[in-house]
Structure 1
Amino acid sequence: MTVAVEPGAQALFDKFGTYILPGRVNDPRRGIDEAKEAERIGLGCVWISERYALKEPAVLAGAVAEATSKIRITGTMYATMRHPLVTASVADMMQAMSGERFRLMFARAVPAYMKMLGSPPITMERLADLISICRRLWAGEKVDYDGVLGKFPAINLTDRHGGTPPPIIFTAIGPKSLEFAGEHCDGVLLHPFVSAQGVKNSAKIVRDAAEKAGRDPMSVRIYHNIIVAPDLPKDEEEAVVGGRAITYFELPGFGDLIVDINGWDKKVLEQIRAHPKIAGLNGKPADQAYTRQELVDVSRLIPQQWLDEGAAVGTAAQCADQLMGFLDAGADEILLHGSSPKDMGPLTAELKRALGAKGL
């Protein structure tokens, strides 16, 4: 007997995922429940960020793999914080533990933050070498490396999964990082508050770079990270969208790249960075100093246009329709961010409606 599949359900699973444990947390076990809920409501992937507190991706990814059965799992790691053998081993073991549901994502982080931790900056050269080492180790090679990452005369995975290696995703904003993703990675995650036009611009840079490198441009998947606030009370919406936005826009370099790719007015960034709460940080990231709620007053400096074009806010139906625009612009998969899976049930129902209406 053939079981009927609800219209839009497969497309929802293929094209939408969510962060678990968004923001700062004090109970990491909540992430397991969020992953189970994400799978229950039909989302296809959970994403785990890296924070050196109660959000270690290697540990949480293993717990999620055991608690779920089909949802994909993407774990973020900072490239210079672990020995390459450890990074490759964690990803290989996660493929084995999860039934090949794991994806490895590398993030660059804010240079000042890496310096504060005493870790080398995450340069493109270091990333390229790490990606090469991981792939060679996954293929069963013994690696003799002497380069910018250090000296590793004989490293190999003595016991390995040996199946499909995990896809490597890179978070990127500016043209150089987007080109890097096209040349070296299996996918690229675009930054929150990149508009639909920004997605289109970014996808072109990635795929042109892949083609120039002799790769199939369509083999590099475009993932987009979008802050969503469906049917939230006003105060919570301001924290989820506006408060979080400030943690991106206040960062020198990061905020500028988002504004550049969207064609927005950079003078707004000057006003944000001049706010007493931000000016007093002296380079420390705002999300290390404040909660999202504590940044709401700063967020009122952000033009409404930026929030309308860069996020999905309003009723669940309005959010779903806004998200379709990002798929139309070239995103292969969307990472829903800011809201918890427990608040996304109505949104996923509306997403199935919108996807079904598009024949997906």
Structure 2
Amino acid sequence: MPAATPEDQTPGHPLPELGFYGLAGHSATPRDLIGEVAHAERLGLGAVFLSERFNTKDAAVLTGAAVAAGERLGIATAATNHNTRHPLVTANMATTAHRMSEGRFTLGLGRGFDPLFDVMNLPRVTSARMADAIGIYRALWRGEALIGHDGPAGTFPYLSLDPTFDEDIPVALVAIGPRTLEFAGRVADAVVLHTFMTDDALARSVEIVKNAAADAGRDPSSVRVWSVLAVVGDWIDEAAAQRKLIGRLASYLQGYGDVLAAANRWDSAALTAFREDELVRSFTGAIDAVATPEQLAQVAELLPGEWLAASATGTAAQCCARISDQFDHGADSVILHGATPRELEPVLPAWRTVRDARRFDTLPRNPGRSRRRM
């Protein structure tokens, strides 16, 4: 990449190409997000992504906190699910966040987990249902009234927010598998990929998204693709690093290892051996939440080295090299995953010395937009 100019290396100079996850991992103290957003803005990070869990991580509440805590940072849910809220409630939430943030908000949606929806007595998420829901949101944001809507997302006698609305709110989709990636390329403004994707898997995913956009008659460059890169630098406490790297990958393999392994073309036999291991089978919760350091060391022996290598580790310079790899393999932007802004402090000055300002400084603050609005 071209050498950075002195202005680019100024602490706080915006880095719209980089984002982070608020309240990374498990958190019982959601108020921490307020400090994280303020710290991220001081460092110059471009966007905060907010995942939703049914404990202390409600997407709407976290979005409001992020809006209030910052003035510049882009904000996206990544992700909430369309089936857990009435479409009028979700459209209203997104409009409120859009106006409160003065256009910095993106509504990010995902498929979620079928077993969870089954016990909640909610319909499972399908592409048809998600497409219908997105169509409803966009119609409501345009000020339209829907009368007698009967579609895959549900039957609604009457839906309307405000006839004066003309809101342009980006929609992002979280995607791993090829069918969801194709769907995202057809309908979404942005796509958020997944942690622990190899460089080859990233390149294939970007190609699927962009080709699907072109096939749908859209400009492929209008769909902003975010890779998600686990950053676990050598300045992180060893026990925390184990949990962020080994524990997190192991937890993903517990929940939807088949999808992740297929995306990466990993050996299915190794995944089966991992899942059938006596220690892994003994965990009653997510490994990154319940395993001891001793157990994590044992789990590490079950994970092929190439699987863990799909991350950024080592010195700040080595982490920056892995960030560059993401752009070299087609990503438009990168979420630095599993690390708080404070834990990212050593990376950002190093990144400023190698980033291509001509390429990245034109990116908009809103993480769901690919280009600035005139």
With normalisation by structure 1, the TM-score equals 0.91
Aligned partners of 2:181 and 2:205 also within 8 Å: yes
Aligned partners of 2:176 and 2:259 also within 8 Å: yes
Counterpart for residue 365 of structure 2: none
**Equivalent pairs, count:** 352
Shift of 1:266: 1.5
**Amino acid across the alignment from 1:187:** A
Matched, 1:117 2:120: yes
Shift of 1:277: 4.5
Q: Label 1:159 to 1:314 Cα distance change in 2 as closer, same or farther (>3 A).
A: farther
Q: Deviations over 1:195-252 (max 9, x none)?
A: 111111011111111111111111111111111112223322111111000111122x
Secondary structure at the aligned position of 2:75 is classed as strand
Counterpart pick for 2:40 among 38, 41, 63: 38
Counterpart for residue 240 of structure 2: 236
Matched, 1:155 2:159: yes
Aligned partners of 1:21 and 1:30 also within 8 Å: yes
CA distance in 2, matches of 1:226, 1:64: 22
Aligned partners of 1:111 and 1:121 also within 8 Å: yes
CA distance in 1, matches of 2:318, 2:152: 48
Shift of 1:341: 1.1
Aligned partners of 2:143 and 2:163 also within 8 Å: no
Aligned partners of 1:12 and 1:352 also within 8 Å: no
Q: Label 1:213 to 1:160 Cα distance change in 2 as closer, same or farther (>3 A).
A: same
Aligned residue runs from structure 1 range 285-300, under 5 A: 286=286, 290=290, 296=296, 297-300=298-301
CA distance in 1, matches of 2:81, 2:236: 32
Q: Label 1:103 to 1:9 Cα distance change in 2 as closer, same or farther (>3 A).
A: farther
Which gives a bigger RCO, structure 1 or 2 (Cα 8 Å, sep 6+)?
2
Matched, 1:173 2:176: yes
Counterpart for residue 350 of structure 2: 350
Shift of 1:115: 1.3
CA distance in 2, matches of 1:197, 1:45: 25
Counterpart pick for 1:104 among 104, 107, 116: 107
Shift of 1:25: 1.1
Q: Deviations over 1:312-337 (max 9, x none)?
A: 11111111111100111111111111
Structure with the larger helix share: 1
Aligned residue runs from structure 1 range 81-100, under 5 A: 81-100=84-103
Counterpart for residue 319 of structure 1: 319
**Amino acid across the alignment from 1:233:** D
Shift of 1:358: 9.1
Aligned partners of 1:19 and 1:48 also within 8 Å: yes
**Amino acid across the alignment from 2:306:** Q
Counterpart pick for 2:23 among 21, 24, 27: 21
CA distance in 2, matches of 1:78, 1:174: 17
Unaligned runs of 5+ in 1: none
CA distance in 1, matches of 2:125, 2:237: 39
Please tell me the root mean square deviation across aligned C-alpha atoms, in Å. Answer: 2.4
Aligned partners of 1:243 and 1:293 also within 8 Å: no
Aligned residue runs from structure 1 range 208-357, under 5 A: 208-230=211-233, 231-251=235-255, 254-280=256-282, 286=286, 290=290, 296=296, 297-308=298-309, 310-356=310-356
Q: Label 1:267 to 1:278 Cα distance change in 2 as closer, same or farther (>3 A).
A: same
Q: Deviations over 1:2-55 (max 9, x none)?
A: x97324879962210100101111111101101111111110000110011111
Secondary structure at the aligned position of 2:248 is classed as helix
Q: Label 1:9 to 1:315 Cα distance change in 2 as closer, same or farther (>3 A).
A: same
Q: Deviations over 1:297-326 (max 9, x none)?
A: 324311111111x11111111111111001
**Amino acid across the alignment from 2:248:** R
Unaligned runs of 5+ in 2: 361-374
Shift of 1:263: 2.5
Identity %, equivalent residues: 35
Secondary structure at the aligned position of 1:77 is classed as coil
CA distance in 2, matches of 1:291, 1:280: 10
Aligned partners of 1:47 and 1:74 also within 8 Å: yes
Counterpart pick for 1:200 among 188, 197, 203: 203
